[in-house]
Amino acid sequence: MRLFHNISWISRHVNRRFCSFSSRSFLGRTFLDVHQPVRHALERGNPVVALESTIITHGMPYPDNVNTALEVEDIIREEGVVPATIGVLDGHIRVGLQPDEIDKLGRLGEEAKKIARRDLAVATSQKLSGGTTVSATMIAAHLSGIDVFVTGGIGGVHRGAEITMDISSDLTELGKTPVAVVCGGVKSLLDIRLTLEYLETQGVTVATLGETTEFPAFFTPQSGMKSDCQVRSPQECAKLIFNNFELGLNSGLVVAVPIPHNSAAYGVEEVIQDGLDEVNRLQVTGSEVTPFLLDFVNRRTKGQSLVANIALVKNNARVGALIAKELSFLKHQFAITHSQMVPTKLTKSNLSSKSSFTVGNTVKRPVVIGASVVDFVATAESEVLHEGTTCGKVTQSYGGVGRNVAECLARLDAKPLLITAVGRDFVGESLLHHWTEDVRADAQGITTLNDYNTATYSGMFHGTGDLHAAVGDMTINDTITTSMVSKYEKDMKAASLVCMDGNIPPATVRYVADFCATHNVPVWFEPTCIMKAKRPVEAGDSWQKLTYISPNFSELQSFCSAIGMRHISDSDKLRTSVIYSHQLLDFIPYILVTLGSDGVLVCRNSLLSGRSYLHFPPATSDLLPVDVINVSGAGDSFAGVMMSCLIRGLSLPTAIKGGLKAAFMSLHTTSAVSRDIRPEEFTEASINSWAPFSPDDVSTFVD
């Protein structure tokens, strides 16, 4: 059974008046043709390395150019990384050229257009073919979501630029496009000193990967110039790149990798000087200067410079692949810490494996802050009388959104800390007994108060199931204050996640959101009802610090209205939810909208893959319980079990299905949370056997 359906229509129906697109331009991507292996790697957050194609068209003669390009790709694959050679064929920007396409560009050679930033619009509109320079490759890589780009050497400031103003667009691109460029430095036929000065002006960090800060001169390891900093390993380099991106500097980096000494072409400087004299004599200008000089130097050195060039590119490819792997690891680690909520300390050996509940010998348990309520439900067997007694059935159950979520987590052995308050009355004693004896959970965070009643809800329903009247005594929830919650700061700081429901006061919401943001703990807000969905907005900018929210459609509307979004009048709940969520994703990375008979919409803004939207249709009738007995805890069960799945490292689709399974279980019991929610029912295999699907069935629209 397919639990997803294709919602690519969102790209047509999300009105741009309502939406602010992410920094990676959605419109720009319409000109990209991303090869399937590259696309799959990017969607899964696996490492990808971009490669330019002017080295194929203008950097080397045929067939050395094609052979080198293919060998470089193989080197990257040997490191477990996906190569993505970028070029333009017949007006299409190809990300991940195929071998026959590389050969086509290689045969064209200098007949192909040399495509920099200024040429992309021309090439795409006039259906041209050509090799992309560093600047154009950076643009295509960034639009595709590729962060690491390997090349031979970057362009720079040409000698005599104080007269000619001949400065490569590579340098300005590095100043405004956040891609890390791994290279052998700047070719010594350029003015290296002025190039480094210009990069400083553009705000571009230049780092040498090695034992010194010596900036390489392409054919040789030394130029006599210094980089801004030194990184000693691919791990250090990846951390530098990651921090540059996370700071939002919107600039690239130059990672200069010195050519190995045994591959260097020493003595080439004199030949370059002769070549520059030829450039002046023949009046070679603009983008033709570098290929002319490379060809001149290659002929004069009898191929020594070409051999060095090839060795340098291959070495850069290996190093770039290692950096990309380390960067991918860091991004996974960040995403898990801040969004996916996996509580284990991540290591490279278990990056793709399932996680347990422990770090070392310490249990990282979730913290839930919210209401505990005892529900009394009266169901009339006949017409409700306005005077006198109506015969019917009265049942008691234990509820409260926070308590329900915590019970799900406890029944699945997540050992939650529930921070809540109850009165010192028989109702409170009953609730505590149920919590410790039936649920078998820790009551450490439950405060008992003398002067308050335990929260209760009393509802009377017609025999048809329609609500006739209800009374709620929820005053005690106002006592879940900052002072009460702050006693458990140590537990919150060490938590795998903190969940709070909408019953707690706005000041407490603000405190929890600020605390979790400070300590990088994911925080989940469960809105509870239409009015209480506004609590994070009432708490100032606290709503912008949430990691997850799980509203129903009405609660989503209430939340968006509170932050000043324009009301959307549209009968299509799914489309409306997407439009609302698209704007919220700038601040809240995960939005889970329960749509009742329309299923569940998952909206996410992932560090790894940008915005995406998944729609889970409602279950088929064969999965639904025969009789719906109690709907009060279905949504809470959905959220609680989903949290448990994410904490254990299960995928988001599996977590959603686990939540749906728990909701259906709770629908046909008198309890808010089904007692059948047990660990063996919510293993990955059990969840998927309940609602089997293939990953190939999943279809998403990614902004």
Distance from C-alpha of 164 to C-alpha of 610, rounded to nearest angstrom: 42
Q: Would you say 442 and 417 are in contact if contact means Cβ atoms under 8 Å apart?
A: yes
Query: Is 114 designated active site?
Result: no
Q: Mention every residue, 6+ apart, whose C-beta is less than 8 A from residue 467.
A: 459, 460, 461
Token pair 């294709």 in the structure block, residue: 6
Q: Mention every residue, 6+ apart, whose C-beta is less than 8 A from residue 465.
A: none
Token pair 């239409």 in the structure block, residue: 530
Q: How many CB atoms lie within 10 A of CB 304?
A: 18
Q: Can you tell me whether residue 61 is helix, strand or coil?
A: coil
Report the C-alpha dihedral over residues 466, 470, 476, 481, rounded to 10 degrees: 50
Q: Would you say 630 and 671 are in contact if contact means Cβ atoms under 8 Å apart?
A: yes
Query: Is 187 designated active site?
Result: yes
Catalytic annotation, pick one of 52, 73, 326, 526: 52
Catalytic annotation, pick one of 104, 113, 187, 657: 187
Distance from C-alpha of 588 to C-alpha of 563, rounded to nearest angstrom: 13
Distance from C-alpha of 693 to C-alpha of 260, rounded to nearest angstrom: 50
Q: Would you say 611 and 43 are in contact if contact means Cβ atoms under 8 Å apart?
A: no
Q: Would you say 248 and 241 are in contact if contact means Cβ atoms under 8 Å apart?
A: no
DSSP 232-289: -SHHHHHHHHHHHHHTT----EEEE-PPPGGG--TTHHHHHHHHHHHHHHHT--GGGH
Q: Mention every residue, 6+ apart, whose C-beta is less than 8 A from residue 35.
A: 84, 94, 95, 96, 97, 98
Q: Would you say 48 and 609 are in contact if contact means Cβ atoms under 8 Å apart?
A: no
To the nearest 10 degrees (0 to 180), the angle between helices 304-335 and 234-246 is: 60
- Considering only CA atoms, which of 672, 658, 100 is closest in space to residue 400? 672
The catalytic residues are: 52, 187
